[in-house]
Structure 1
Amino acid sequence: MKHITLPLAAIVLAAAALTGLAGCQSTPTRESTGQYMDDTAITGKVKAAIFNEPSLKSTEVNVETFKGVVQLSGFVSSQADMAKATSLAQSVMGVVSVRNDMRLK
């Protein structure tokens, strides 16, 4: 009866590949690679929506996204501007929720 043996190098490569795949999974404090790409796209779309809104000063509104949750921070002139920025962010496809950390100037 013949025994099939794998070379040590093949075993090491397989272990490294499995470890690398585990590194791509998300955790409560870390995104997977796919989630990061999705969040980057969402952030860009929210920034574009705010930038294209003439009533908002887009340079004073910061946008960050983590696992589909958009956080708006920075300064706006009125409650109406705050509501408009929040509404624009919520309208972007892929946004799970919006955290409003904006402040009135």
Structure 2
Amino acid sequence: MRINHRFSILLLAAAAFTTLGGCASTATQESTGQYMDDTAITAKVKAAIFNDPTLKSTEINVETFKGAVQLSGFVGSQADINRAVSVTQAVSGVRSVKNDMRLK
């Protein structure tokens, strides 16, 4: 009975370690919490771009990884590119902005 109890504890500890290890982040993969944070940042950036009357939100794609926001798409002018970057930098949680937008 004592061996069975120790085996159960060992099995439970191994399962907990495996589960918690799966939630950790690496250089190329986010943790669950980081993924949720990045999803919120992406939503805030998209809303900020949508609410800016000078920008066309359908032209700009937004992706976030560990707080770094990447903007891509084809826009009508350099002023639109500059404005989109500026609007994105003003969003809370944004650590950096990578501009991959191109002119039409």
| TM-score normalized by the length of structure 2 | 0.93
Which structure shows the bigger proportion of residues in helix conformation? 2
Give the alignment of 1:49-88 within 5 angstroms.
Answer: 49-88=48-87
Q: Which residue of 2 aligns with 1:10?
A: 9
The unaligned stretches of length 5 or more in structure 2 are none
Q: Which runs of 4+ in 1 moved over 3 A?
A: 4-7
Q: Which residue of 1 aligns with 2:47?
A: 48
Q: CA deviation at 1:9?
A: 2.6
The aligned amino acid for 1:10 is I
The alignment-based identity, stated in percent, is 70
Give the alignment of 1:15-30 within 5 angstroms.
Answer: 15-30=14-29
Q: CA deviation at 1:7?
A: 3.6
The unaligned stretches of length 5 or more in structure 1 are none
Q: CA deviation at 1:60?
A: 1.1
Q: CA deviation at 1:92?
A: 0.6
| TM-score normalized by the length of structure 1 | 0.92
Count how many residue pairs are aligned between Structure 1 and Structure 2: 102
